[in-house]
Amino acid sequence: MQYFPTDNALIIRHRTELLRIEPWGTNALRVRATQYMDFTGRKRALTEPLTAGGQTAEISILPDGSAEIKNGRLCIRINPGGVLSFFRDGRLFLREYYRNYFGTESAESRCLKIVGREYKPIIGGDYTLTVRFESRDGEKLFGMGQYQQPYLDLKGCILELAQRNSQVSVPFAVSSLGYGFLWNNPAVGKVSFGKNYTEWRAEATKELDYWVTVGDTPRELILNYTAVTGRAPAMPDGLLGLWQSKLRYRTQEEVLSVAKKYRELGIPLDVIVIDFFHWTRQGDWQFDPEYWPDPKAMCDTLHAQGTKVAVSVWPSVDRKSKNFEELFSRGLLIRTERGSLQTYDYQGDCLEIDVTNPKAREFLWEICKKNYYDYGIDLFWLDNSEPDYAVYDFDNYRYAAGCALEVSNLYPKLYTRAFYDGLTAQKPQNGILNLVRCGWAGSQKYGALIWSGDIPSTFEALRDQLCAGLNMGLAGIPWWTTDIGGFMTDNAGNPAFRELLLRWFEFAVFCPILRMHGDRGPHDIAPLSDKEWGGGYLFTGHDNELWSYGEEAFSIMKKQLNLRLSLKPYLAKLFEESRQNGSPLMRTMFYEFPEDKICWELSDQYMFGPDYLVAPILHAGEFARDIYLPSGNWKNINDGTVLTGAQTVRCAAPLESIPVFQKL
């Protein structure tokens, strides 16, 4: 073991491995290791400039042949066998899993020949990397992005580190032991938070790279984490009310008629969304003039009514697109390693634009600026942003930045960046927001409002979304939303679906963005054209406006929308708080009450900011439920009853409202 301490980093050469540990933010250290001669220098998620405070390392080479490096309250010690141990205020909280006979400490001298950092060479390429840590009984783990499962506490879970439709890998974990851990590696892989040990795996990489911070509360950990990965910008004005969308508005006249009816009913409409196949072909990134003859006039009319306009943009490029040949000849499309060149096959023979190439990002923005932004389009809906592949064979795709196995989790972040950078250059006075289906660590800094993808219209899916939204917030993504009612609906006229829709709407009132969307079956509406391309092509879903589900449902949703509108000043404060310190709007109970042990066990209720406790109805036919109130006084906003906390109460939940308590 050779130590090479510098002014502000501990560098170790251990056999063929080069290891570097250095301060990186408040009470935080970054750990990198490689089998190469030096590091790549890539920052990945750690993009923010480091402040002067909290960056000074205390490095010691100890008499027993070990060494340690401290930054504030965090210390990492490396023993003569190369094993890392992590201490918060002098107390061990994490240690590499090491079961090798050649270890120098007796507690580690076992014959299993398992090491904490394992590199498996890929023939002709880089390494498959596995990193293991000891598990701690009683530890709870949260964050990591969005997975379609009902588990808020991720201890015991195996998570794929890969992007898919409705799955968002954001590899930052918050521990109940008072530390946060960022796997700063965009490679496809997995993490197993096992009872016996934790294992992180990257299928292809050049180096190990992770970041650790410590703090007394989850709030401190999120503050430290977002300081080095970025925070959401200011929320643009005029987006906190109702967003109206469906699959799909097929013409300019449909959009204007829906907005007109909302106006006639006296219902404010903040945003109306134009979904997919409004275009001529995938990759043209333009309106079909047959059905959208004057987009600028449409936008002008809607703007005059106080409504902003969002338009869907896909990364897919049909071979028959007007832009295909230029993109292909310039090498701006994702490549395959073998077989067909095709990467996406929904309604066309498509490749997808390679946004890991800055030239591709510039090309995409310039086309969308000309064909959308210059007409007055306010917001971009960046769909299929994982990207969605015909088959998720990650080993068959290659980007400008490297093979997909090594870098593909970065794709949605860079897709969002293409529009953030483009819009920033226009110097907007009202802020930037992009609705996007996926993200990675740091996506929040590019104005990413992530929604939970194409999920089924079931109460089971609704339960999954609650845990997904809360864990996204703990992964540093404060802007999050869902399709109210779920996306995939077989029969929108079914009374059971109306019950689900209302419960989902009541939940969405207390989400960062309130957004009506979904494919409302059955698909029995004829296309506008028999051509196999253009804006008249493809089916659409049934109506999905507030009035589309009968008088009772309309009355309930209108009342709930009024509640949402009354919260706008409060919402604005929450968005500003997320800009300042990274706090999510939807917060686990323990985020606000970290000293209350019961709050660490709750996964079916949450805090919406510091003031409102929300208890969604997550099962069909449920009209009452138990709610835990932490200490203090709590007012039921539905009936005005004031209750004392530190107790569990039974609360009524009629169809027209869910239990919500205001902290007094």
Tens of pLDDT, residue by residue over 454-483, are 999 999 999 999 999 999 999 999 999 999
Backbone torsions φ then ψ of 600, nearest 5 degrees: -75, -10
- Has residue 544 got a pLDDT over 90? yes
Say whether domain 2-229 belongs to CATH 2.40.33.10: no
- Has residue 252 got a pLDDT over 60? yes
- Has residue 54 got a pLDDT over 80? no
d(CA 638, CA 621): 20
Single-letter amino acid code for the residue at 397: Y
386 classed as catalytic: yes
- Is there a cis peptide before residue 330, judged by omega within 30 degrees of 0? no
Q: Outline which parts of the chain fall under CATH 3.20.20.80.
A: 242-581
Q: For residue range 602-643, what is the model confidence (pLDDT) as tens digits? A: 999 999 999 999 999 999 999 999 999 999 999 999 999 999
Q: For residue range 63-115, what is the model confidence (pLDDT) as tens digits? A: 999 999 999 999 999 999 899 999 999 999 999 998 875 544 444 556 888 88
> What integer pLDDT is reported at residue 53 of this predicted model?
64
Q: Outline which parts of the chain fall under CATH 2.60.40.1180.
A: 588-663
Instruction: Identify which of 125, 94, 98, 123 has the alpha carbon closest to the alpha carbon of residue 109.
Output: 98
Q: What would the mean pLDDT of 510-539 be, rounded to a whole number?
A: 95
Find the DSSP H helices in 4-131. Answer: none
- Has residue 56 got a pLDDT over 90? no
**What is the band of 124 on the pLDDT scale with cuts at 50, 70, 90?**
confident
> What integer pLDDT is reported at residue 113 of this predicted model?
84
> What integer pLDDT is reported at residue 73 of this predicted model?
97
Task: Identify whether the C-beta of residue 633 lies closer than 8 Å to the C-beta of residue 644.
Answer: yes
Q: For residue range 341-391, what is the model confidence (pLDDT) as tens digits? A: 999 999 999 999 999 999 999 999 999 999 999 999 999 999 999 999 999
Percent of the chain with pLDDT over 90: 94
Domain 588-663, CATH: 2.60.40.1180
Burial string for 72-82 (b: 16+ CB within 10 Å, else e) reads bbbbbbbbebb
**Active-site hit among 275, 318, 383, 406:** 383
Q: Indicate the average pLDDT of the chain.
A: 96
> What integer pLDDT is reported at residue 107 of this predicted model?
45
Task: Identify whether the C-beta of residue 570 lies closer than 8 Å to the C-beta of residue 225.
Answer: no
454 classed as catalytic: yes
> What integer pLDDT is reported at residue 114 of this predicted model?
86
- Has residue 402 got a pLDDT over 90? yes
> What integer pLDDT is reported at residue 592 of this predicted model?
98
Q: Kindly tell me the burial class for residue 640, based on how many C-beta atoms sit within 10 Å of its own C-beta (0-12, 13-18, 19 or more).
A: exposed
Structure tokens at 380: 């971009």
The radius of gyration computed from the CA coordinates of the chain, to the nearest angstrom, equals 26
> What integer pLDDT is reported at residue 555 of this predicted model?
98
For residue 565, give every residue at least 6 positions away whose Cβ sits within 8 Å of its Cβ, in sequence order, or none.
241, 268
Q: For residue range 295-305, what is the model confidence (pLDDT) as tens digits? A: 999 999 999 99
Find the DSSP H helices in 346-458. Answer: 358-371, 404-407, 411-425
> What integer pLDDT is reported at residue 109 of this predicted model?
57
> What integer pLDDT is reported at residue 510 of this predicted model?
98
d(CA 145, CA 47): 19
Q: Outline which parts of the chain fall under CATH 2.60.40.1760.
A: 2-229
DSSP code for 517? -
**Active-site hit among 108, 126, 386, 604:** 386
Percent of the chain with pLDDT over 70: 98
139 classed as catalytic: no
Q: For residue range 429-448, what is the model confidence (pLDDT) as tens digits? A: 888 999 999 999 999 999 99
Q: For residue range 203-226, what is the model confidence (pLDDT) as tens digits? A: 999 999 999 999 999 999 999 999
> What integer pLDDT is reported at residue 123 of this predicted model?
81
- Residue 40's region, left for phi above 0, alpha for psi from -120 to 50, else beta, is alpha
> What integer pLDDT is reported at residue 110 of this predicted model?
67
**CA 518 to each of CA 134, 426, 465, 510: distance values in angstroms, whole numbers, following the listed order:** 44, 32, 15, 19
Task: Identify whether the C-beta of residue 449 lies closer than 8 Å to the C-beta of residue 436.
Answer: yes
* Protein fold of 242-581: TIM Barrel (3.20.20)
For residue 268, give every residue at least 6 positions away whose Cβ sits within 8 Å of its Cβ, in sequence order, or none.
241, 242, 262, 306, 565
**Active-site hit among 17, 349, 454, 611:** 454
> What integer pLDDT is reported at residue 105 of this predicted model?
47
CB atoms within 10 A of CB 38: 9
